[in-house]
Amino acid sequence: MKANDFFYSSQKPNSQGGAILVMVLLIVAVVSTLAINFAGAFQLSVARSENRWHGAQANAYLLGAEDLALSVLKEDRAEGEVDHLGEIWAQKSEPFPVEGGWLSGRVVDAQGLFNLNSLVGSAGDAGSASSAARFTEEQRRFIRLLQTFESLPLAQGDAVAIVEAIIDWLDSDDRPTGYGGAESNYYNSLDSVYYAGNQNFSSVNELRLVRYITPELYALLEPFLVVLPEKVSININTAPLKLLQTINVSTSLEALSVSDAQELLDSLGSEGYETLAEFENSPAMVGLMPQGTGPDMQGLSISSEYFLLYSESLVAKQRRKLESLVLRTEDKLQIIRRIDG
């Protein structure tokens, strides 16, 4: 055997061993990478499963709160037709603990708010823009409401123009109402082009699209507004002070003062009025009206059919909200719509 043959044969095993080592290291690296990926995917899958489970659990709690509220409203209707803020459904409650978190809920009389869809209806001739007779009583009340915000005072003419624009948003034609109306021709001229709704409002947020409705004005109005599928009366027993300010004689577009409306609110007591006549002829109301006149009682009531249910739940880190609109009549209790939060 030659020396160089010996040298080659003695190096070959070491060379093979190095190649094997490299292969082993590559295999270990691949296996480690796969293991990390599998572990990450498994953890992500577990986290997703937990989130789905906790989310489903939170949603189940919300539906349970909804069922409870429906039962309370059903029992309340069986006890009488008058609705007021002294009843069980109107009482505030603290969040109570449930497995894995907490649950809260409250019921609001939707007819204690102003229904934007009650503004539907044509207005009369604009020859006298300040004439109350041009408008329906619901439209007159909204004109008054617009004038009640001290932080954003509006002249009566400005309030009239806003209502004219809302009337145009609701009606199906393309003829502007009065001097302040706005149809699709106006909205098409804006930088962000869109069309007038020409139908009932689908949400309170839609009001922000209407001419003259600034973000500041919307923020002030929004707490007192609701969108319902039909015209309904305002419940005087559950209406806030702002809406009581909108009650006046039919010939006036002026709102009641805060102090006058507070008298009406105080006169309700803890159980409100049992009849509209009792409210109309109460010393508080009679004392506010010009002698020989009385308030326009159209569109007012002492009972309600529409209610809003607000529920919220937290399970682990999953937080869910639900808003439900309920129609309650003598023979029916129905969920009209649900909005997930």
Tell me: do 93 and 139 sit in the same domain. no
Tell me: do 287 and 308 sit in the same domain. no
* Residue 234 domain-assigned (yes or no): no
Tell me: do 187 and 283 sit in the same domain. no
Reduce the DSSP state of residue 258 to 3 states and report it.
helix
Is-contact 212 158, C-beta < 8 A? yes
CA dist., res. 62 & res. 225, Å (int): 24
First to last CA, the chain: 88
* Residue 180 domain-assigned (yes or no): yes
* Residue 79 domain-assigned (yes or no): yes
Is-contact 338 309, C-beta < 8 A? no
Tell me: do 15 and 101 sit in the same domain. yes
Report the 10 Å Cβ neighbour count for 24: 10
CA dist., res. 178 & res. 261, Å (int): 30
pLDDT digits (tens, 9 = 90+) for 15-37: 666 677 777 667 766 666 666 66
CA dist., res. 136 & res. 164, Å (int): 12
Question: Of 297, 312, 330, at which residue does a domain stop?
Answer: 297
* Residue 6 domain-assigned (yes or no): yes
Tell me: do 183 and 133 sit in the same domain. yes
Tell me: do 308 and 293 sit in the same domain. no
Is-contact 296 276, C-beta < 8 A? no
Tell me: do 133 and 182 sit in the same domain. yes
* Residue 80 domain-assigned (yes or no): yes
Q: The CATH number of the domain where 25 resides is what?
A: 3.30.1300.30
Domains contained in the chain, number: 3
Question: Of 224, 253, 269, at which residue does a domain stop?
Answer: 224
Pairing between β-strand 300-301 and β-strand 234-235 as defined by DSSP bridges = parallel
Reduce the DSSP state of residue 24 to 3 states and report it.
helix
Which range of residues forms the domain containing residue 29? Answer: 1-112+303-341
Q: The CATH number of the domain where 143 resides is what?
A: 1.10.40.60
* Residue 337 domain-assigned (yes or no): yes
* Residue 236 domain-assigned (yes or no): no
Tell me: do 319 and 287 sit in the same domain. no
Residue carrying the six token digits 């009385």? 294
| Greatest Cα pair distance in the chain | 137
Instruction: Report how far apart, in Å, the C-alpha atoms of 228 and of each of 144, 232, 265 are.
Output: 21, 8, 24
Tell me: do 8 and 37 sit in the same domain. yes
pLDDT digits (tens, 9 = 90+) for 166-189: 999 999 999 999 999 999 999 999
Name the pTM for this structure. Answer: 0.84
* Residue 105 domain-assigned (yes or no): yes
Amino acid at 24: V
Write out residues in the chain with pLDDT < 50, as ranges: 3, 6-10, 47
Tell me: do 131 and 92 sit in the same domain. no
Tell me: do 3 and 97 sit in the same domain. yes
Tell me: do 1 and 89 sit in the same domain. yes
